[in-house]
Structure 1
């Protein structure tokens, strides 16, 4: 197994030079994603055709029915692509924001150990701007494929599609108010990420503690705003998909999923950089601390998951239980296996794999757990979104293909951001403490 050594050298500039091999790997991931997406689309069209062939044709009436089935199949396919884009983009936007949240927490806590991974946190935020653009466009152009409450007439009394429960939320769920909230969340996250990045780069150039103290103040304000906007974004972007259902714990649940995914992404990037010969000042103690965070917050995610599930199960109120009924046996049991898989990969596996001290200090173990957590929480968002949007018309080829396209694009932007400055913030006041960190 690969082990990590401890260094006691002065910190020095360490510049990432992206290799052509890495760029080819990212493009290969995108290419494989496009191929999988095409195969998934073809498979969905063929499945629609098979279903269509089973319908008996009886004169003109049969032909009309046949055309209706074809139109429905195309509509389902378009909705599936739109929902999949929303799903993967939402996952990566959350991880990007968590990079800034993690860094801000380290600032306000005056933490020194994490300075060696600070530039990774800054680089994670590289997806925020493209992710924000994609999210806004998806809502404007494809909102009716994602959100039931955007359908025409649903809040209009006398309309055939009128829904009293949805109409009761009309003050909150309106197109312009929703769009303003979305843009506000993303702007706050993007502006504060940019500001902390600029302060960090200026600190590299000029030194001193001035930029550090400005970063602490900026981080404190950002954390307050993020605490509010992250919960509201979870209500808007995920919970309003199941517009009849609500949970007061849902904001914490979504944040826990984003948070542990962001820590896993930070640790995984650090491992790959270390194995490529970079981050020479990062040692087993840093990985141990990242491992403890993944271990602890996997348990926290499970705590929130169980608290939400147990209260709804115990009360057994129809308007609350419907959410879990859909995921546990609903739609001919299509989501049941994933419901249990979610618990295994997001709780049982990280809990058992990272339980010992040595496991957190071995890069091979940490790498496997990080990958499992990222796959697991992507699946967690799949389970949050698909039953409420696609019902029983879900699948995986299109969804995984789109996720791979997003992953490759995300890695290209991340690597570019990492290469723009030293991987070690050499003038950070706590850099020596981080270089000599022990646990």
Structure 2
């Protein structure tokens, strides 16, 4: 790992940590502070008006309740920011490993030359999972209100949430989280271990073992990923549910993982590594970026259209809140995640041009971060959202940790899987 990567990672982590600490310290200290802030805001916009004595008490009670609501939202904001960034990068790494497992299970001939890049990205699953798990534990312990079902007072006065207590309770929730994260981390470690053993001396049993582990992971993943999406994201909006949600989250993390594989591959090639990687390999990665972007849009539109057409209040409320309070981001991310990749990557020649793939990849990653942002923020900070210091600092902090971990992982093994049976086919792949 180059000193440039180490320095860049350290700078990102330091700046991100300082900014996030500032985000926590700048949150209101009390409801009275929020009340004053709201009063000043109303005065600045000329919202002052005379009220009769009859309505004075009602207005005062309403203002107090609103101030408490805004106070809870603002206290949640830095927590929601770091949770969004941590979850996005963690699931990105899981998505990259899922792609690796698919290639192994399919015994693909074009991709083995990229396997070490996929393995390097997958090294983030364990540390990234630990960060997410710690944030979940802190939330369960009451350090924030990201998950309203953890508040006994809310559950006591909400029949819908009370009926879900058998599933949404702290011990069972954390047990499931440990199973998801532990299972993904263990299987990814096992596959990397077997892959690196083959560098020393080819052993057919190791090749077969990784094939079996890939199949086991994919079966486990297809179930656990859906449940993870219900727990880590959908349970934030506890009243709402969607049977498409697991697939929707999968498409987002899968295309993000593939995009990161392409970006890291192109970076390494630009630094003189992976000389056997040719434009055909990049072309195929870009095809997956294009195809899964279309798949994500199909799921987004299917979920949105069915709920919009049925117009059932308990389902539609999810989109009403996002269209009212997150209008620009909600529809903007669709343009970023669908229209931009469609217009650029539909051209076959563009899929072979590195700078175009890099530019499109960066846009895709930004778009899918915004997708996670729009999934998480409305249920945690409501209308009190803003992309400012806590949000940007959280991205920098987790991105710095991510870069350090994956490049450290890449440095621990040769960048080409030497004795992999299909490596010669991959080196001579042309499309």
Q: TM-score, normalised by structure 2?
A: 0.89
Structure 1 residues 54, 300: closer, same or farther in 2, change over 3 A?
A: closer
Report matched runs for 1:290-329 at 5 Å: 290-329=285-324
Deviation at 1:247, TM superposition (A): 0.4
Question: Matched residue of 1:155: which SS?
Answer: helix
**What is the CA RMSD across the aligned residues, in angstroms?**
2.5
Shift of 1:26: 1.9
Q: Please, which of 401, 405, 412 is the counterpart of residue 409 of structure 1?
A: 401
With over 3 angstroms needed to count, the CA separation of the structure-2 counterparts of 1:66 and 1:346, relative to structure 1, is closer
CA deviation after TM superposition for structure 1 residue 70, in Å = 9.1
Counterpart mapping for 1:27-426 below 5 A: 27-37=10-20, 40=23, 50-51=37-38, 53=40, 75-143=72-140, 144-156=144-156, 162-329=157-324, 334-397=325-388, 398-426=390-418
For the residues of structure 2 that align with 1:292 and 1:26, how far apart are their CA atoms? 30
Contact 2:225–2:246 (CA under 8 A) maintained in structure 1 = yes
Deviation string 1:122-157 (CA, Å, 9 cap, x unpaired) is 11122222222222222222245111111113334x
Return closer, same or farther for 1:186/1:207 CA change in 2, 3 Å cut-off: same
In 1: Cα distance, 2:330 partner to 2:65 partner: 33
1:22 positional shift: 2.1
Equivalent-residue separation in structure 2 for 1:193 and 1:313 (angstroms) = 39
Unaligned runs of 5+ in 2: 44-56
* Residue 341 of structure 1, CA deviation: 0.8
In the superposition, relative to structure 1, how do residues 75 and 154 fare at CA in structure 2: closer, same or farther (>3 Å)? closer
Report if the CA contact (8 A) 1:29-1:408 is conserved: yes
TM-superposed deviation, 1:52: 6.1
- How many residues were matched structurally? 407
**Preserved contact between residue 91 and residue 258 of structure 1 (Cα < 8 Å):** yes
Worse-matched range after superposition: 88-97 or 318-327: 88-97
- Give the secondary-structure state (helix, strand or coil) at the position aligned to 2:115: helix
Which stretch shows the higher mean deviation, 176-185 or 81-90? Answer: 81-90
Q: Residue by residue, what CA displacement relative to the aligned partner does 1:261-295 show, whole Å, maximum 9, x if unpaired?
A: 00000000111111111111100000000000000
CA deviation after TM superposition for structure 1 residue 209, in Å: 2.4
Aligned to 1:11: none
Normalised by the length of structure 1, the TM-score is 0.87
Shift of 1:43: 6.5
Asked if 2 retains the 8 angstrom alpha-carbon contact of 1:97 and 1:189, the reply is yes
